[in-house]
Structure 1
Amino acid sequence: MRGRQLRRAAICLLAVVAAVPVTACASGQESVGRPAAAREDGQRADPDAERRAAEKAALDAYSGYLAASRTASGRSDPRAPELARYLADPLLSRVQLSIRDAKEHGAMRTGTVKSDPTVTAVSLDAKPATVEIQDCLDTTGYRLVYAKDKRVVPGSGGGKHLSTATATRYPDGRWLINYGATHRDQPC
């Protein structure tokens, strides 16, 4: 009888331990858990502060995406780890494919991109939360060139065009850019 009670107590203890949320050690933007602004009753402590934090995190992810993409394109490295730090699919796969295609054709990107993004919409109540970004990208100094002799690839000229992107908050708390488009028919 006593053995059966001990077994039952052990099973209950295991069930309680399994139900306790497990947290992982991480640093920086990669921390796991609920947003700090959330309260136990589900209400946001300061909606304006949460919105500003989301806008900042999304804009940081966007500028990180542009820098990582520029670096990976300059090295012709579609597997550059910094891409996954700021991008998620489907955009991550599109950027990697673009870099790989250029590399296979003996080309690479050089130069700089000028950017001045603005947040156009914040949806923190959406599942998952998203931030919409609009930018006038100036790629006049960003060229696709042949890797061997640095000649500009014909038809690859830059310009100033409207660009849009979506940053999404993932379950681990990171904001990643998962959608992006350049609207070449909309100069700015």
Structure 2
Amino acid sequence: MRTRQSRRWTSCLLSLALLGAGAGCGTDREAAARPPTGRDAAPVAHSDADEQAAGKAALAAYSGYLGASRAASARSDPGHPALARFVADPLLTRVRLAIREAKEHGAMRTGKLVSDPTVVSVNLDADPPTVELQDCLDATGYRLIYARDRKVVPGSGGSRHLATATATRYPDGRWLVNVGAAHPDQPC
């Protein structure tokens, strides 16, 4: 009985492991959930420097997101304050729910997650501006364990796979990761 329950909640938590504690799968509804800025401006030509700065800010937000997710998962703390500094909804809610579910089952994340993100595209003319990222995540050393006895949760092994994310510039000027997808069927 415990194995069947473990498999069920472990499969839910695998999205947590696959993208550094929660990028999960993106949906078309999430694209519609991006924050509106209320601007109806005509497209403006942006310099390479503007695009490079946006890409750099998006990569920093993504790195912060992975770090905050790892810290929150290691402490089984879905309310970890660093999460909201780097992640926005709908992704933020999914990350928090995955961490909460792991905590309810007595599990937590431990180990090392290796990331190598790159900027795929920058769209400063979008409303709001977005940066698409691609990452080769190595989660082979990142484990879901039972907090009580530190044993690895069966079926929770990680892999090395493709992950994608979108960072969006919010009206207050912050770049936050709000959409993410793990692609475990696409090794890298």
Match of 2:78 in 1: 78
Alignment partners' CA distance in 2, 1:117 and 1:163: 9
Match of 2:126 in 1: 126
TM-score by length of 2: 0.76
Unaligned runs of 5+ in 1: 1-41
Match of 1:153 in 2: 153
**Secondary structure of 2:156's aligned partner:** coil
Answer yes or no: is the 8 Å Cα contact 2:43–2:125 preserved in 1: no
Match of 2:107 in 1: 107
Counterparts of 1:32-181 in structure 2, within 5 Å, are 47-181=47-181
The letter for the 1-side match of 2:132 is: E
Q: Aligned Cα RMSD in Å?
A: 1.4
Alignment partners' CA distance in 1, 2:108 and 2:75: 7
Question: Displacement, 1:63?
Answer: 0.3
CA offsets per residue over residues 6-59 of structure 1, 9 Å max, x none?
xxxxxxxxxxxxxxxxxxxxxxxxxxxxxxxxxxxx996961111011000000
TM-score by length of 1: 0.76
**Secondary structure of 2:162's aligned partner:** strand
Answer yes or no: is the 8 Å Cα contact 2:110–2:143 preserved in 1: yes
Question: Displacement, 1:96?
Answer: 0.2
Unaligned runs of 5+ in 2: 1-41
CA distance 1:43–1:124, shift in 2 (3 Å):
closer
**Secondary structure of 2:167's aligned partner:** strand
Question: Displacement, 1:103?
Answer: 0.2
Answer yes or no: is the 8 Å Cα contact 2:168–2:175 preserved in 1: yes
Bigger CA radius of gyration = 1
Higher relative contact order (CA 8 A, sep 6+): 2
**Secondary structure of 2:61's aligned partner:** helix
CA offsets per residue over residues 77-133 of structure 1, 9 Å max, x none?
000010000000000000000000000000000011100000001110000000000
Alignment partners' CA distance in 1, 2:59 and 2:104: 32
Alignment partners' CA distance in 2, 1:162 and 1:45: 32
The letter for the 1-side match of 2:174 is: R
Answer yes or no: is the 8 Å Cα contact 2:64–2:86 preserved in 1: yes
Answer yes or no: is the 8 Å Cα contact 2:44–2:125 preserved in 1: no
